[in-house]
């Protein structure tokens, strides 16, 4: 691989995984719902919010890079319910209860007694996933596994569980669904994942699988339903062809944001989420 390609690949990973807040002014923050909350409230980070340059929602706060075709909107359409989509790129667990930035109110502000459904997809940004994944794409000849990675993933368990408990307090009549992280990297990787060696591809996927284990345990302990999105994602990883893959690789052609959902991916995840929710209604 040429040095130029390595440099471009590293820059693409950093740009795609790190959502830096824009400096432009933001819309006014949304107030707490005076009507008791929407029937369906979506909480989460970029994994639920955005499809990158595709289907950009110009009405959302700019820093959230929210999509008009993201999973929450597709789920709301499928169920025929009113949605308050509070998902926002770069969000961490703390941003559920505190303002993420100018014009981005705490996501929990959308919850109320009229809320009947809540979906949650958050936690990756709290685990320093960006740092570790970037390290795996730039590791060169050395293994990318970092002994601190597992600890950072396991370390979100307490705050994640506390957030789920708070949802039950703020939206006592809601059913809460937690969707996990799908399959990102197949065994052996592929050339589109620039700089990622076959052995390190497995390391990256194991980290996402561990994150799934942590949030699934949190859901089980706090009355929420965990939705496995990994199993049905087989064949739709970042090495799959354009139009089939659910996430763009480093050589991104659809969203221009590596490791983030394509429009196809949002649809695939939404179908899984809908299959989990419908029998409970």
pLDDT digit string, tens, across residues 193-229? 999 999 999 999 999 999 999 999 999 999 999 999 9
Of 49, 33, 154, whose CA–CA distance to 100 is shortest? 49
Inside any domain, residue 29: no
Domain that holds residue 167: 3-17+36-280
- The Cβ of residue 115 has, within 10 Å, a number of other Cβ atoms equal to 24
Inside any domain, residue 59: yes
Between strands 83-85 and 175-179, the pairing is unpaired
Q: What angle do CA 43, 45, 48 make, to 5 degrees?
A: 75
- Asked if residue 13 has pLDDT above 90, the reply is no
Q: What angle do CA 96, 130, 274 make, to 5 degrees?
A: 55
Inside any domain, residue 201: yes
Inside any domain, residue 248: yes
Instruction: Kindly name the residue from 46, 89, 90, 161 that is annotated as catalytic.
Output: 46
Domains contained in the chain, number: 1
- Asked if residue 149 has pLDDT above 90, the reply is yes
Is 46 marked active-site?
Answer: yes
Across 49-63, 102-116, 152-166, least confident range: 49-63
Instruction: Kindly name the residue from 121, 137, 236, 260 that is annotated as catalytic.
Output: 260
Q: What is the distance between the alpha carbons of residues 233 and 202, in angstroms, rounded to a whole number? A: 16
Inside any domain, residue 182: yes
Inside any domain, residue 26: no
Inside any domain, residue 230: yes
Q: What is the pLDDT of residue 37?
A: 83
Mean pLDDT of 246-250: 95
**Whole-structure pTM value:** 0.89
**For the chain, what percentages of helix, strand and coil (3-state, to nearest 5) are there?**
40, 10, 50
Is 260 marked active-site?
Answer: yes
- Asked if residue 119 has pLDDT above 60, the reply is yes
Q: Could you tell me the pLDDT band of residue 16, with boundaries at 50, 70 and 90? A: low
Inside any domain, residue 60: yes
Partners of 2 in beta bridges: none
* Packing angle of the helix pair 71-79, 263-277 (nearest 10 deg): 40
- Asked if residue 30 has pLDDT above 70, the reply is no
| CATH number of the domain within which 88 lies | 3.40.50.1110
168 exposure class (CB count in 10 Å sphere: 0-12, 13-18, 19+): middle
């Amino acid at each position: 691989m040429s040095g130029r390609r390595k440099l471009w690949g590293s820059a693409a990973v950093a740009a795609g995984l790190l959502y830096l807040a824009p400096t432009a002014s933001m819309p006014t923050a949304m107030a707490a719902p005076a009507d008791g909350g929407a029937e369906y409230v979506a909480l989460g980070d970029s994994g639920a919010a955005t499809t990158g340059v595709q289907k950009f929602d110009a009405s959302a706060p700019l820093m959230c890079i929210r999509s008009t075709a993201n999973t929450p909107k597709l789920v709301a359409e499928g169920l025929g319910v009113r949605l308050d989509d509070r998902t926002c790129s770069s969000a961490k667990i703390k941003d559920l209860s505190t303002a993420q930035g100018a014009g981005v109110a705490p996501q929990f502000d959308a919850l109320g007694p009229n809320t009947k459904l809540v979906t949650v997809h958050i936690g990756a940004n709290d685990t320093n996933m960006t740092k570790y994944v970037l390290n795996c794409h730039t590791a060169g000849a050395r293994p990318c596994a970092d002994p601190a990675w597992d600890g950072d993933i396991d370390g979100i368990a307490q705050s994640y569980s506390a957030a789920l408990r708070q949802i039950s307090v703020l939206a006592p009549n809601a059913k809460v669904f937690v969707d996990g992280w799908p399959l990102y990297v197949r065994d052996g990787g592929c050339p589109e994942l620039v700089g990622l060696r076959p052995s390190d591809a497995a390391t990256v996927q194991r980290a996402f699988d561990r994150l799934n284990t942590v949030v699934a345990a949190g859901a089980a302990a706090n009355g929420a339903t965990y939705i496995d999105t990994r199993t049905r994602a087989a064949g739709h990883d970042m090495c799959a062809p354009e139009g089939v893959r659910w996430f763009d690789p480093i050589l991104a052609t659809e969203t221009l944001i590596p490791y983030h959902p394509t429009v196809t991916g949002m649809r695939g995840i939404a179908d899984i989420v809908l299959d989990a929710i419908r029998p409970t209604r």
